[in-house]
Amino acid sequence: MEKLPKVALPFIVGAVLLLVVLAKSAITIDSGEAGVLFKTFGEGVVVDEPPMGEGFHLVAPWNKVYIYEVRQQELFEKMKVLSSNGLEIQIDASAWYEPVYKDLGNLHQSLGQNYLQRVIMPSIRSAARSVVGRYTPEQLYSSKRDAIQDEIFEETKKILDKQFVQLNEVLVRDVTLPITIKEAIERKLKQEQESLEYEFRLVTAAKEAEKVIIDAKGKAESNRILSASLTDKILQDKGIEATVKLSESPNTKIIVIGSGDSGMPIILGNQ
């Protein structure tokens, strides 16, 4: 192979250097990501400008670009914490978080790319210990799961708002108690349910008895009023009205007037 002319050597070196410079200068930021520019011969991390967005960018080869995922991410944690009476409880929780986009430079400068381990995980663990420590195992098992979820979220959010991280949600997926405590709570809840059911039956029976008494008193009072209002004259008039109606009936009958003890008619017939 013939030797290259000496005049071509500078061009080849220049082309190689150009390729190296382009390789060092070309930055591609993928979807859901953003870049923080670090100026080596300048002020360092750029915090007073928006982060570099998605797409292709050219930067000086001596500068650096740190890529961050800016989409919502999930942290899943299994934490062992103590209840108010000192029993160990396991909490399975998820936290949804993302870096504050406009403060990405500040986040990089203060915490760096491993901000999850540096601030988010310690924050949610601290909040979980603080919140769960206010409740008994029975409260955690039965009625307070939504409450502790909201309280863990609020306490964690207060910490992360100062750390350029946005907390979107905390979900308590499971609360695991020691098996003996869980069984004792379930027995107690069952007994309470049976007691409530028995009390309900007693109240229902008492109301039914009260209703029967009221109905009986009403009927007795009605009969008393009716008896007081029925005189011999009224009864005789009612008997006459009934006799007239019977006499108009097409059924075969014999009506004997004035044959009863009270002078009322006696009706004989085939009906």
For position 236, what pLDDT does the model report? 64
Residue 43's pLDDT band, with cuts at 50, 70 and 90, is confident
177 vs 119, which has greater pLDDT?
Answer: 119
Domain 73-182 architecture: 2-Layer Sandwich (3.30)
Cα torsion through 148, 150, 153, 157, rounded to 10? -130
The least confident of 20-34, 117-131, 141-155, 256-270 is 256-270
Q: What is the mean pLDDT of the chain?
A: 79
Q: Looking at residues 105-132, what average pLDDT do you find?
A: 94
pLDDT at residue 110 in the model: 93
Structure tokens at 234: 């009224």
Which of 110-114, 166-170, 171-175, 190-194 is predicted least confidently? 190-194
Sequence-separated (6 or more) residues with CB below 8 Å from residue 97: 72, 73, 74, 75, 120, 160, 165, 166, 167, 168
Answer whether residue 175 shows pLDDT above 50: yes
* Residue 145's pLDDT band (cuts 50, 70, 90): confident
Check residues 192 and 146 and name the one with the higher pLDDT: 146
The mean-pLDDT minimum among 116-125, 157-166, 202-211, 230-239 falls in: 230-239
Q: Is the pLDDT of residue 72 over 80?
A: yes
Query: What pLDDT is stored for residue 1 in this prediction?
Result: 45
Q: What is the DSSP string of 178-236?
A: -HHHHHHHHHHHHHHHHHHHHHHHHHHHHHHHHHHHHHHHHHHHHHHHHHHH--HHHHH
Higher pLDDT, 197 or 114: 114
Averaged pLDDT, 117-124:
94
Q: Are 95 and 159 in contact (CB under 8 A)?
A: no
| Share above pLDDT 90 across residues of the chain, in percent, rounded to a whole number | 35
Q: For the chain, what are the domain ranges?
A: 6-69, 73-182, 235-269
